[in-house]
Structure 1
Amino acid sequence: MKLIYIAALILLILIVILCIWIYRESKEFCVTFYQYATEKINQDQVKIVMLSDLHDKVFGDCNEPLIQAIDEISPDIIVFAGDMVTSSMELTYDYSSTIEFIGRLAEHYPIYYGMGNHEEKFRRCEERFPGKYQELSEKLAKFGVHIMDNECAYVKEAGIYIYGLTLEHEYYRRVITKHIPDGYLERIFGKKDSAGYHILLAHNP
């Protein structure tokens, strides 16, 4: 009986730790740095900030801590890898805070916006989200954001090709996964320039 109580206590402690971790993850953001060496770019170095899965979350006052963290890095390019917004059915749904955040960043940095499953859902489920995909696209375009919806953009100054892959809904299954067939990327984007440096934005929920 004593062993059962000990096991239950350990399980309870683990659950509490997990809850604390989930809470902190939902309230804080983490900055991770990666460094790659290549001779294929046109500059000595290119600093890129990548964000994804913001899901309309606001950190601090109007995302000010997140903007300050980005400004400290002073990137040459910002890329979004999807799900910056949330395709919610709530009547109170509003992504104005995310749009404001992106607009502030776009004043200082070139932005390349790759689509996630939530952005894809706006387009696919037009009857449930009437006009949302068009509204989002128009607001991003107004800021000068490059919308990477199965598109490729060449950043001449850096010598970098950026691809934005918008996967079909069938590839977002969690349990029974469907693998992308051979030649899938080439059918969408064509053959790549082997001499260039290529970055693929592809969201996986």
Structure 2
Amino acid sequence: MIKIILGIGIIVILFLFLMHRENHHLTVSKYKLHSDKLPKEFDHAKVVFLTDLHNNTFGRNNEHLLRRIRNEHPDYIMITGDMLIGHKKADYYETLDFLKTLSEEFPIYYVNGNHEQKLSEGEETKDTIYKEYHDILVANGIHFVHNKTLKIKRDDAIIHVTGLEIASEYYHKFNRPEMKDEYIKECIGICDSKTYTILLAHNPMYFDYYAKWGADLALAGHVHGGIMRLPFLGGLISPQYILFPQYDGGRYEQNSSTMLLSRGLGVHTLKIRIFNRPEMIVFTLHRN
């Protein structure tokens, strides 16, 4: 009996050690993206892509994450939401301080994920937690792109950054509505096919629609890499309880559109990652 208890204790300790390592040891994935639509002024522009922090921290005051970002010397930072936890009692001040620090050094473009969206729609949180969080970040120069398009300029050249915030029912685990072909246009209008466009869209499930809309590059998160990653099979389960989801992490192509799907920087509720370390994505744009 003592040996059994000791064995179980060792397994539990090893599991806790693995969970801590998987949740707090960051990996950086790098991509090169090429397009003949990209103006020459944006050739070699570098972007750090962050998503799904969920109030996770990497060192005191997120110093390790800040160092990794600064080491890349990005021109822009782009965020696809879920940087905090959508709960009325969740503490979001460390995330707020982290983003305020980043905003002093880099231009930031940010679209809500379903957790920010939950706070923005909740009767108890929309005028308190969400308003404070949103207003402070806007005051610090962060560009929120909620169903709108902004121009990024270099000299006389521009590219577009569009943020897509879909209705909350598209995140439902069950009884999820089917998305209509015209829905994306109803949210964000028609894509300018002549201008290189980056679409910030938290949910990767709808990449087909993002490609049809005309996004040259879509950035997404939400799936957390599938929680557990298995050799040859990829991510195990999505937040919608879909086993082995089609999109779990990495680079995807459809026609002339690319999607970069991050495994995210944190988790929530059940803080489990197995063979699935937090991920920061860095990509460089290249004109063909």
- In the superposition, the TM-score normalised over structure 2's length comes to 0.61
Match of 1:39 in 2: 36
- Paired amino acid for 1:145: I
18 and 174 in structure 1: CA distance in 2 versus 1, 3 angstrom threshold: farther
Match of 1:187 in 2: 186
Q: What displacement does 1:106 show?
A: 0.6
Match of 1:172 in 2: 171
Larger strand percent: 2
Match of 1:110 in 2: 107
Are the aligned partners of 1:40 and 1:159 in contact in 2 as well (CA < 8 Å)? no
Query: Which SS does the other structure have where 2:44 is aligned?
Result: coil
Match of 2:151 in 1: 154
* Identical-residue share of aligned pairs (%): 36
201 and 60 in structure 1: CA distance in 2 versus 1, 3 angstrom threshold: same
In the TM superposition, 1:1-205 aligns within 5 A as: 21-42=18-39, 43-90=42-89, 93-127=90-124, 130-157=127-154, 159-204=158-203, 205=222
Tell me the alpha carbon deviations over residues 78-117 of structure 1, each in whole angstroms, 9 at most, x when there is no partner: 0111100112243xx3211111111111111100111001
Query: Which SS does the other structure have where 2:29 is aligned?
Result: coil
- Measure the CA separation in 1 of the matches of 2:101 and 2:70: 11
Which consecutive unaligned segments of at least 5 residues does structure 2 have? Answer: 1-6, 204-221, 223-288
- Measure the CA separation in 2 of the matches of 1:16 and 1:81: 34
97 and 181 in structure 1: CA distance in 2 versus 1, 3 angstrom threshold: same
**Which moves more between the two structures, 173-182 or 103-112?**
173-182
Task: Say how many residue pairs are matched.
Answer: 192
Q: What displacement does 1:39 show?
A: 2.2
- Measure the CA separation in 1 of the matches of 2:118 and 2:95: 17
Q: What displacement does 1:23 show?
A: 3.2
Query: Which SS does the other structure have where 2:94 is aligned?
Result: helix
Q: What displacement does 1:27 show?
A: 1.6
Which consecutive unaligned segments of at least 5 residues does structure 1 have? Answer: 1-8
Query: Which SS does the other structure have where 1:33 is aligned?
Result: strand
Compare relative contact order (CA 8 Å, sep 6+) and give the higher one, 1 or 2: 2
RMSD: 2.3
Larger helix percent: 1
159 and 129 in structure 1: CA distance in 2 versus 1, 3 angstrom threshold: closer
Are the aligned partners of 1:53 and 1:82 in contact in 2 as well (CA < 8 Å)? yes
Query: Which SS does the other structure have where 1:63 is aligned?
Result: helix
Tell me the alpha carbon deviations over residues 91-146 of structure 1, each in whole angstroms, 9 at most, x when there is no partner: xx321111111111111110011100110001111225651221111111111000
Structure of greater Rg? 1
**Which moves more between the two structures, 139-148 or 186-195?**
186-195
19 and 113 in structure 1: CA distance in 2 versus 1, 3 angstrom threshold: same
- Measure the CA separation in 1 of the matches of 2:73 and 2:178: 37
